[in-house]
Structure 1
Amino acid sequence: MKLEIESGETANRKVKNKSVILYKIKKNPMTILGFSIIVVMALLAVFAPYVTSYDPTQMNILERFQEPGAKHLFGTDEVGRDIFTRVIYGTRISLTTGISVVVAAGIIGAFIGSVCGYFGGYVDQIVMRIMDMVLAFPTLILAMVLAATLGSSLFNVMFAIAIVKIPVYVRLARGEALVVKNNLYVKAASTFGLSNIYIIFRHIIPNSITPIIIQLTLDLGDTILLVATLGFLGLGAKPPTPEWGTMISTGFKYMLEQWWYPTFPGIAVFLASTGFNLIGDGLRDVLDPKSSR
């Protein structure tokens, strides 16, 4: 009977916490704005074939450099492709790339950091010094070097950005693990003979996840911007792939006369990056009590 009462109290507490989180999110208009931007962009990306009837790679020289209008909302490019269509299909690439890179970096970094923080010792010191070496380089410069070394392709860009993002999550997870491993329930689990792997996955990582989630949302905008930047520099997706950075790079040549060509992909990059940053700031205010204003 007592166990049932405690289970009921735990369930009620979880429901109450969720309600408080939703209430705080609703009270922050900038967070709602961020969610709205990303949801709209995601829906456009998913339903792209139903939103536009044009092919993002189909050329039509007779309609090259058409100004924005009823037929082509964002105008056309140098070979007559509809820019609105290419921006929408580019949303698929940018969102998928950004989310994949950040999630992969977060998972790998959280595991490495938790292991280092829990065990400590020489391995911890060696790993953290390697992470410090990576963090010593500017993110963009190191990503450029790695992408150029691996070769120009979207996959190599994703790999390069993941490498430069992992140290951030390693340091976050390690710092949380150093605190969590001193809690009584972790010491009790160790006393009862539970394996270290079980303790890490059952206690250390779940109780260290909040700052990692916040960092994930904040990094999404930065990652999308990095992907577009490397694409602009010619290190990312190759034409005719409708990737925002590549489109801006090509359209920049025609900026003075065909202003719409680089402008609309640039606006898409700005909106995606801003949307994720607003979401990240909102989640930080909600999930991290230390950051409450």
Structure 2
Amino acid sequence: MNLELGTGDTSNKKTKNKSIILYKIKKNPMTILGFSIIIIMALLAIFAPCITNYDPTKMNMLDRFQGPSMKHLFGTDEVGRDILTRVIYGTRISLTTGISVVVTAGLIGAIIGSVCGYFGGYVDQIIMRLMDIVLAFPTLILAMVIASILGSSLFNVMLAIAIVKIPVYVRLARGEALILKNNLYVKAANTFGLSNVYIIFRHIIPNAITPIIIQVTLDLGDTILLVATLGFLGLGAKPPTPEWGTMISTGFKYMLEQWWYPTFPGFAVFLASTGFNLIGDGLRDVLDPKSSR
């Protein structure tokens, strides 16, 4: 007997649904704009050595504090480094950090939430109360505290942000699991003696993934902004690493006379967070029936 019949649509229906999703995305100009921004930034990050000939960490005191020109489109910093080059290489750090943090938090949160929702009981209550405690604190404040305790480094900033993001995914996955575990195909799987691990990873998590994907895309922009904020506060990557928040923090000292120094890294943060937010809003409209217009 095939227990997979209740887990989803037929292949033809899935293909039709994918076509509808792609059609809706193409019809939304703001979502297309978001994808365009992120794709361009990703290409810049990948092909950075081919785009610029400057070294992002090499100092050249003869070129310090040069304004935007044909030689240095975004100007130079206090030790003569090309700011455009550092912004481009900073794209690698920011995109990699943001995606790694959110995907890690999403996966861990989805597993914990699905287990809590499926089994219930005392373990569920204890874990959810812990998640409520974490959610009770402002995200930025709690991330600052954790990063300060762990020590100033980019990895510790990633870990701190992942910790404060996990509870959101736990609650989402748990809510979906509470509904899904009462579905007929889950009860049939239980009846035929399939293991709880198999049921969770084959039936619960895949069918609870839609709101998690939406939240991941929405959190990407916020995470990049958080990384930059913690870097600005001196808790993230250390100089001469070309990280946007650190560049803004250093450039802020010279803002009145060398306006280009903090402006262009700040604009990069704005573009990245805006791009991911536009993608998240578009996917929410497409994937979440409750938000359809």
The bucket for the TM-score relative to the shorter chain is over 0.9
Q: Amino acid of the residue matched to residue 256 of structure 1?
A: L
Q: Amino acid of the residue matched to residue 33 of structure 1?
A: L
Q: CA deviation at 1:40?
A: 0.2
Q: CA deviation at 1:14?
A: 1.5
Q: What RMSD over aligned residues (CA atoms) do the two structures have, in Å?
A: 0.7
Q: Amino acid of the residue matched to residue 243 of structure 1?
A: E
Aligned to 2:102: 102
Is 1:50 the counterpart of 2:58? The answer is no
2: distance between equivalents of 1:286 and 1:155?
34
Aligned to 1:255: 255
Aligned to 1:287: 287
Q: CA deviation at 1:11?
A: 2.2
Q: Amino acid of the residue matched to residue 245 of structure 2?
A: G
Q: CA deviation at 1:10?
A: 2.2
Deviations 1:156-186 (A, max 9, x none): 0000000000000000000000000000000
2: distance between equivalents of 1:104 and 1:127?
18
Q: Amino acid of the residue matched to residue 156 of structure 1?
A: N
Q: Amino acid of the residue matched to residue 25 of structure 2?
A: I
Deviations 1:186-226 (A, max 9, x none): 00000000000000000000000000000000000000000
How many aligned residue pairs are there? 285
1:50-199 equivalence runs, <5 A: 50-199=50-199
Runs in 1 of length 4+ with deviation above 3 angstroms? none
Q: What is the TM-score with the length of structure 1 in the denominator?
A: 0.97
Q: Amino acid of the residue matched to residue 78 of structure 2?
A: E
Deviations 1:60-97 (A, max 9, x none): 00000000010001000000000000000000000000
- Per the alignment, in what secondary structure is the counterpart of residue 10 of structure 2? helix
Aligned to 1:23: 23
1: distance between equivalents of 2:104 and 2:26?
29
Deviations 1:104-123 (A, max 9, x none): 00000000000000000000
Q: Amino acid of the residue matched to residue 116 of structure 1?
A: C
Q: CA deviation at 1:12?
A: 1.9
Is 1:236 the counterpart of 2:230? The answer is no
Which 5+ residue runs of structure 1 have no aligned equivalent?
Answer: 1-8
Q: CA deviation at 1:15?
A: 1.4
Aligned to 1:3: none
Q: Amino acid of the residue matched to residue 285 of structure 1?
A: D
Deviations 1:15-46 (A, max 9, x none): 11111001000000000000000000000000
Aligned to 2:201: 201
1:220-231 equivalence runs, <5 A: 220-231=220-231
2: distance between equivalents of 1:91 and 1:44?
8
Q: CA deviation at 1:51?
A: 0.3
2: distance between equivalents of 1:265 and 1:80?
16
1:24-43 equivalence runs, <5 A: 24-43=24-43
Q: Amino acid of the residue matched to residue 278 of structure 1?
A: L
2: distance between equivalents of 1:69 and 1:281?
37
Q: CA deviation at 1:13?
A: 1.3
2: distance between equivalents of 1:187 and 1:152?
49
Q: What is the TM-score with the length of structure 2 in the denominator?
A: 0.97
Identity of aligned residues (%): 88
Aligned to 1:5: none
Is 1:245 the counterpart of 2:245? The answer is yes
Which 5+ residue runs of structure 2 have no aligned equivalent?
Answer: 1-8
Q: Amino acid of the residue matched to residue 143 of structure 2?
A: A
1: distance between equivalents of 2:188 and 2:101?
36
